[in-house]
Chain A
Amino acid sequence: MPLTTEERLRLEEKAHELRCLSVDTVAWAGSGHIGGAMSAMDILTILYHKYMKIDPKTPDLPDRDRFVLSKGHVGVGYAPLLAELGYFDKELLKKYNHTGSPLGMHLDSLKVPGVEASTGSLGHGLAIGLGMALGARLKKEAWKTFVLLGDGECNEGEVWESAMAASHFKAVNLVTIVDRNMCMIDGPTEEVMGLEPFADKWKAFGFDVLEVNGHDFKELAFALDKALAAKDKPVAIIANTIKGCGIDFIAGDYKWHYGSFDEETKARAKASLVRYKEARLVAVGLASGVAAGPLPAQGKEPAQ
């Protein structure tokens, strides 16, 4: 179902709120993977606030939809989302990374309600998600499995083993999303280890591929609707994103894969997020006025 204007506004507000909470979490934690948290936040927001069937009060609800954060290092983005939904006390975010805290850099499925798999070692998530999806099919259950991969982790051979298997087993109840932020720890993806032609790789492995702007809820919704209606082939959504999206002094800079904020930079980051939110609302026609500047993420037109 296409998003209503109200839904889009609600998602824009929620994503903004979560970006800010993520910045706070990095500050409480001392440091964190802020760049990838910002690039993934719109994807996380639309999944949890529009598409997934969940009950934060019953994290192990048998017919809940499953989500595997394969790019597990962005716990500083995922934990605020789960806390804000009510999976656990938001106050816990203030103890992020502290000795003895249930919240560490990579979220542990045994310690954090709502986390389906203990990820962080890259390349593992799609295989786990595929197993979940096949499990649902065997048990004749209707729930779906969503996996969010980073683009850098697609260097791992296991990702392609899983891609081959997902199409071989026709796992159409599995939705694969790649946060294509073009950056990895040591530099731009195409310099460190080239992924292009990225969409062609997924197509060659038997997927229907949708390339969208990962910071545009309308495009994300379009792609997710298509993926959820898959009949013969699994769908991979390549969400073109900006690492550090919304924070002007880190956006697009691979060096902000991991970083920390002091009081001054935290305030600058939040001020930037406010300007970004306002510019986005104008750009997508949800607010009047003049956009403060071009939006950084330009996805390709969704395939019809």
Chain B
Amino acid sequence: MSKMTNTKPDSEKMSASEVYGKTLSELGEKHPEIVGLSADLAGSTKIGLFGSQFPDRFFNAGIAEQNMFGMAAGLASAGLVPFVSTFAVFASMRALEQLHSDICYPNLNVKIIATHAGLSFGQAGSTHHCTEDLAIMRSLANLAVMAPADGIETAHAVRAAYERKGPVYIRINRGFDHTVYDRPDYGFEFGKAQMMRDGSDLSIICCGSTVWRAVEAAKMLEESDGLKIRVLNMHTIKPIDKEAIKKAVKETGRIITAEDHNIFGGLGSAVAEVAAETGRPFAFKRLGVPDTYSIIGKHEDLMAHYGYDENGIMAAAKEMMGRKPYTY
């Protein structure tokens, strides 16, 4: 295992799910058509905050995700706006066909806020890890897919999901995330990558847990090697910000993607699809879980183990800078 990551005390971190629960409750006060559903995970996903405020508009479906997604479809069809929360592994796989056929195919206005995404429930083992959801969700037509970087961005994402008509999937972590933003008015826009730092040597495109780590890596690389690194927070995975990717290819020629997800099918693949179609040569490296079932451990240790924490990102950037921007 590589060196342990720099960690902050929890007091400097935010729980994205806690923010989600509060944001949904605020939305619920203004919008009586919002209803909540969970599958015996109201407490863990924090949708329970909404549930205790609006008990008549909250349905605990019990440990039965398929029925819960079907109920959400029916409620949406009756004109309500269901927010459905469970762990990402169940939202994306246990009830996938219901999501596909009952919600996405008829383009119903259902919002899925999936917690415990990626390796954030690291100690629970692979039955509770979810490093496939971005790949799965990205392939469902009509569905928007988001992975906010921290609590502040989670609040933006939840409000954006409400504003958008049609199905939306948001993945957030279990527990506490490093705070990436120090204030809410940083210019969040659905579908637009957030430039965390500008630079011309290389671009790191990241989402969710890797945003804080990419920013840290870029800072350290500037201090140690004088590198100017662009960091793009791709909080909206679908529809993806093609222009930001094309510009990164054109202006930096080197792209690294980092995600708390299998390197197949997720952010890295989405970026590669857009970048490859530019027709320009560019250096490219995907960081993430290398198509395996993760070992058990703390989230930050696992990200270090698989080389997509700040140290892993730094190492990948240095290696890429040691080569020509591209080779034929």
Contacts and interface: CB of A to CB of B under 8 A. Distances in A.
Interface string B155-186: 00000000000000000000000000000000
B101 A121 contact: yes
Interface in A96-127: 108-110, 116-121, 123-124, 126-127
Nearest to A110: B106
Given A117-B106, A126-B70, 18 more contacts: A117-B102, A118-B101, A118-B102, A124-B98, A127-B71, A128-B70, A134-B75, A135-B75, A135-B79, A135-B80, A138-B35, A157-B66, A158-B98, A161-B64, A161-B67, A162-B67, A164-B62, A165-B67
Given A121-B101, A124-B102, A130 B74 contact: yes
A165 B59 CA distance: 10
A132 B76 CA distance: 8
B78 A132 contact: yes
In the A-B complex, the 9 residue pairs with the smallest Cβ-Cβ separation, listed nearest first, are: A131-B74, A127-B70, A135-B78, A161-B67, A161-B64, A131-B71, A132-B74, A158-B66, A131-B75
Contact of A127 (B80, B82, B98, B105): B98
A129 interface: yes
A169 interface: yes
Interface of A: 66, 108-110, 116-121, 123-124, 126-136, 138-139, 145, 157-158, 161-162, 164-165, 168-169
Interface in B248-269: none
B143 interface: no
A181 B107 CA distance: 33
Interface string B86-104: 0000000000011001100
Interface of B: 35, 56-57, 59, 61-62, 64, 66-80, 82, 97-98, 101-102, 105-107
A157 B80 CA distance: 26
B97 A132 contact: no
B74 A121 contact: no
B67 A117 contact: no
Contacts of B71: 127-128, 130-131, 134, 162, 165
A174 to B, nearest CB: 10
A134 B68 CA distance: 12
Contacts of B70: 124, 126-128, 130-131, 158, 162
Contacts of A136: 78
B79 to A, nearest CB: 7
18 contacts: A66-B77, A110-B106, A117-B102, A117-B106, A127-B67, A127-B71, A127-B74, A132-B77, A133-B74, A135-B74, A135-B75, A135-B78, A138-B35, A139-B78, A162-B67, A164-B62, A165-B67, A165-B71
B66 A131 contact: no
Nearest to A116: B77
Given A124-B98, A135-B79, A161 B106 contact: no
B101 A124 contact: yes
Contacts of B98: 124, 127, 158
Contacts of A129: 74
Contacts of A127: 66-71, 73-74, 98, 102
B79 A158 contact: no
Nearest to A156: B66
Contact of B77 (A119, A126, A128): A128
Given A110-B106, A138-B57, A117 B77 contact: yes
A81 B280 CA distance: 57
A118 B77 contact: no
Contacts of B82: 131
A158 B102 CA distance: 13
- Most B CB within 10 A of own CB, among A120, A128, A139, A165: A128
A121 B100 CA distance: 10
Nearest to B98: A124
A165 B38 CA distance: 13
A139 B35 CA distance: 11
A168 B63 CA distance: 13
Given A110-B107, A161-B64, A131 B101 contact: no
